[in-house]
Amino acid sequence: MRYTFEQFAAVRNYGSLTFSPDGQWVAYTTNASGQFNVWKQPVAPGPDGPQMPVQLTALTDDATRQVFWSPDGSRLLTMADHHGTENFQLYSIPAEDGWLYPLTDAPAVRHELEGSPFSPDGKQIAYSSNERNPADFDVFVRDLDQGEGRAVVTDGAYYNAINWSPDGRALLVMKLNSNTDQDLYVVDVASGEKRHLTQHEGEIKFFPGPWRPDGGGIYLLTDRDREYLGLAFYDLASGDLSWVETPDWDVQDVDISKDGRYLVWLVNEEGWSRLHLRDLTTGEAKTFPDLPPGVYSAMRISPDGSRIGLTINRSVRPSTVCVVDIATGAVQRLTQSFLGGVPESAMIEPELIRYRSADGREIPAFLYRPHGLADGERAPVVLSVHGGPEAQELPTYSYSGLYQYLLSRGIGVLATNIRGSTGYGKTYQKLIHRDWGGAELRDMEHAALYLRSLPWVDPDRLGVFGGSFGGFATLSCVTRLPDYWAAAVDIVGPSNLITFAKAVPPAWKRMMKQWVGDPDEDADLLRERSPITYVDNVRAPLLVIQGANDPRVVKPESDQMVERLRELGRTVEYMVFEDEGHGFTKTANMMKAWKATADWLEKHLAK
């Protein structure tokens, strides 16, 4: 049976999740209504399976991004932005009846929630905001009954409030120095006095986790003296940091039960997640073989310590909210994410491969080969490059089913983790720093050469696409490697590294020199690495997609590329979404953008 794009794309997406204090409900963000809103759902199944969810907010133009349940169970906390601006405002939601009640109203200011923003008694929240200076994020504490927030950290850096201490007297705070360097502090809420926990030289990642329930220390993730993120414990009395788990892969998340008995963490093994649990009273370790292979996120232990909540995303099934019974290991799926009626048997799991780049480095990638190729038949293939670039291509139901739709039309996909990707150690991640458009361009060229070497690939029908950094990579490919590509799609990608570096959000500018380059001091380098410099070389038909409100890669980045291509008479189409930012939150826009991408690639690659 031949399924339509709309069937592959008929999915609900799920994000943040949180348990009610009694563990009987879970709340989550989902776009089931056509926009990301907050919903809640009973955890215990009814006689016929999962009980019906309840929608708590009804946003259409704004999108919720996180959700947290208060310790007394009376309310939830969320943040939402308008048309993709990423200037998040904070809202309180009555847990019983729903609706949004604003806690902030400053459309030009960004407010951020992380970790566990409620104080243990539920009377205060902690958050960060750039209201004092757009370039800095200060830490605020707000009494929910009194009104205005009170700044507790304001020393000209990028801080995030993470977790309250169990006694409510202190906050764990992270200072973001760069993607590969962070610091952690414990801040006295009354005085604002900071204790620096992670003094170090050089670049070391320190990602905060939960407090031990007795307040004696903090779990964290760090790559100190290691290539990969390990799980460690910081003892506040002694100041010692001790390792808990040090796998040869990144630990990606950690949580602890309210009574301190169970410690759970996720490990990213070649892109797939593995859930681990340790009973801290007995030392017993446990894994969960009934969990399907996939990518797990939004992990939380229920307050009663009986369940683990998480989302599971697979290459053949979109993200689904699940709960795992700690005692039995049984997995219960709460939500139905796929509506299109396409069976998993009609979809394709990827093969993890590695290909050699110009300098001999092995580049990991996921290769999706279409079903049903006859002997001697050759198929087109699309090279997909993820955003970030310090992020990772994972074996998920990507781009609302775009990969699977292309595969159903006989178009393969190679989704690569070029140098700079996370998940493969800090040395690999740092290779992209101040080298955008450098060695990773050779990684993409050798991806094309690898595809050309496969007997089932048509070398004359290769496409390339990606978003954000992946959009930059796409533009680099079509301008600097023009002989390889028969079609391309750029989604919110920078075209000019000088103008990009000048226009990023103010808080990013302190990191741009180390990350990409200084637009003044490094102008010659950035000009030499910019796709716009080589625009005359473009031969592949190009579709460009842009959000008008994008604060990270502003619309002029796409404008200048499209205008120049039109002047040159090249084949280019331009889609601008006036009510979106850096990507898509509205389901209708998402469907339109991915459908246009699919149609463009199919038109120019399929026979």
Q: Spell out a b/e string for 29-64, using b for 16 or more CB atoms within 10 Å of the CB, else e.
A: bbbbeebbbbbbbbbeeeeeebeebeebbebeebbb
Query: What pLDDT, on the 0 to 100 scale, is given for residue 400?
Result: 87
pLDDT given at position 477: 98
H and E: helices and strands count for the chain = 10, 36
Mean pLDDT computed over 490-502: 97
For the stretch 424-456, what's the b/e string if a residue is b when 16 or more beta carbons lie within 10 angstroms of its beta carbon?
bbbebbbbbbbbbbbbbbbbbbbbbbbbeebeb
DSSP 375: T
pLDDT tens digits, 96-148: 999 999 999 999 999 999 999 999 999 999 999 999 999 999 999 999 988 78
Check residue 149 and give its pLDDT: 86
Q: What share of the chain has pLDDT > 90, as a percent? A: 95
In terms of C-beta density within 10 A (0-12 exposed, 13-18 middle, 19 or more buried), how is residue 266 classed? Answer: buried
| pLDDT reported for residue 398 | 86
**Segment of 50-54, 398-402, 422-426 carrying the highest mean pLDDT:** 422-426
Smallest Cα–Cα separation from 165: which of 220, 125, 112, 212? 212
Quick check: 167 and 121 in contact, CB under 8 A?
Answer: no
Task: In the chain, list all ranges with CATH 3.40.50.1820.
Answer: 348-605
In Å, what is the CA distance from 106 to each residue of 103, 114, 134, 316, 556? 10, 19, 12, 41, 25
Confidence of residue 557 (pLDDT cuts 50, 70, 90): very high
At 202 the three-state DSSP class reads coil
Helix H or strand E encompassing 384: strand 379-385
pLDDT given at position 494: 98
Is the pLDDT confidence value at 354 over 90?
Answer: yes
The answer to whether residue 195 scores a pLDDT higher than 90 is yes
CATH fold of 114-248: Neuraminidase (2.120.10)
CATH 2.120.10.30 domain position(s) in the chain: 114-248
Pairing between β-strand 351-356 and β-strand 331-333 as defined by DSSP bridges = unpaired
Task: Please give the average per-residue pLDDT across 371-377, as a whole number.
Answer: 89
What's the average model confidence in pLDDT over 506-513?
91
The pLDDT of residue 46 is 81
The arithmetic mean of pLDDT across residues 524-538, rounded, is: 98
Task: Give the end-to-end CA distance of the chain in Å, rounded to a whole number.
Answer: 19
Average pLDDT over residues 569-586: 96
Residue 607, pLDDT > 80, answer no
CATH number of 348-605: 3.40.50.1820
